[in-house]
């Protein structure tokens, strides 16, 4: 778990820790990096690390949560399309560094956790507006995260070679074209 406070000093410390971790990941595997490596690289004290984080993976959780919070705000501000997927993909097209890093070190579980948290928040907003709960909510969430994560992962691995709007249209076609669905089901 991370314990980032909103004061300037804490924010700066978290940024230094994250930057040190990113630098170390260019030299070592994630599993071989220690807290000592990070605090030495960041030129901070060990207590500063533990004041903000319980474990190294929490540094990545914080950055991933921040990215998904940014995505949520971006969706709220910029979603002019009935197809929210386009806005979602536009956001990640502009800034996918944390996703790229997490995919590289095979920690997509962190992406799933952050994504789940955001979907839960959106569902709470919908529940208050519609005054009805989604039946089988866990499956609703799992399906959307599974599809989105696998698409994001492939798109990033391919160097985001398809513009976000074109990719959204391709995805929509795949799910609405009944002839392509017959291959799987």
* pLDDT value of position 29: 97
Mean of the per-residue pLDDT values of the chain: 90
- 89 bridge partner residues: none
pLDDT at 79 over 90: no
pLDDT of residue 129: 54
Q: Check whether 179 has a pLDDT greater than 80.
A: no
Bridge partners for 53 per DSSP: 2
Identify the pLDDT of residue 123.
80
φ, ψ of residue 71 to 5 degrees: the values are -60, -45
- Given a contact cutoff of 8 angstroms between Cβ atoms, the answer to whether 180 and 174 are in contact is yes
What is the CATH T-level fold of the domain 8-54, as seen in this structure? Answer: Arc Repressor Mutant, subunit A (1.10.10)
Mean pLDDT of all residues in 27-41: 98
- Tokens (6 digits) for 58: 């929490």
Domain range summary for the chain, segments of one domain joined by +: 8-54, 59-184
pLDDT tens digits for 52-64? Answer: 999 999 999 999 9
pLDDT above 80: residue 163: yes
Q: What are the angstrom distances between the C-alpha of 129 and each of 35, 80, 103, 107, 132?
A: 45, 19, 35, 35, 8
**What are the beta bridge partners of residue 2?**
53
Distance, in Å, from the CA atom of 80 to the CA atom of 178, rounded to the nearest integer, reads 27
Nearest Cα neighbor of 115 from 53, 83, 78, 71 is 71
């Amino acid at each position: 778990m991370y314990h980032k406070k909103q004061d300037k000093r804490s924010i700066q410390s978290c940024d230094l820790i994250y930057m040190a971790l990113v630098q170390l990941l260019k030299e070592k595997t994630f599993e071989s990096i220690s807290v000592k490596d990070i605090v030495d690289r960041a030129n901070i004290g060990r207590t500063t690390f533990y004041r903000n984080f319980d474990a190294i993976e929490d540094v990545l959780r914080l950055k991933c949560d921040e990215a998904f919070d940014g995505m949520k705000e971006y969706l709220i501000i910029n979603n002019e399309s009935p197809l929210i997927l386009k806005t979602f993909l536009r956001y990640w097209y502009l800034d996918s560094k944390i996703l790229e890093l997490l995919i590289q070190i095979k920690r997509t579980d962190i992406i799933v956790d952050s994504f789940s948290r955001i979907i839960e928040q959106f569902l709470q907003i919908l529940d208050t507006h519609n005054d009805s709960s989604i039946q089988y909510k866990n499956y609703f969430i799992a399906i959307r995260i599974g599809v989105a994560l696998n698409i994001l992962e492939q798109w990033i691995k391919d160097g985001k070679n398809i513009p976000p709007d074109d990719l959204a249209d391709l995805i929509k076609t795949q799910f609405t074209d009944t002839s392509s669905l017959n291959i799987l089901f």
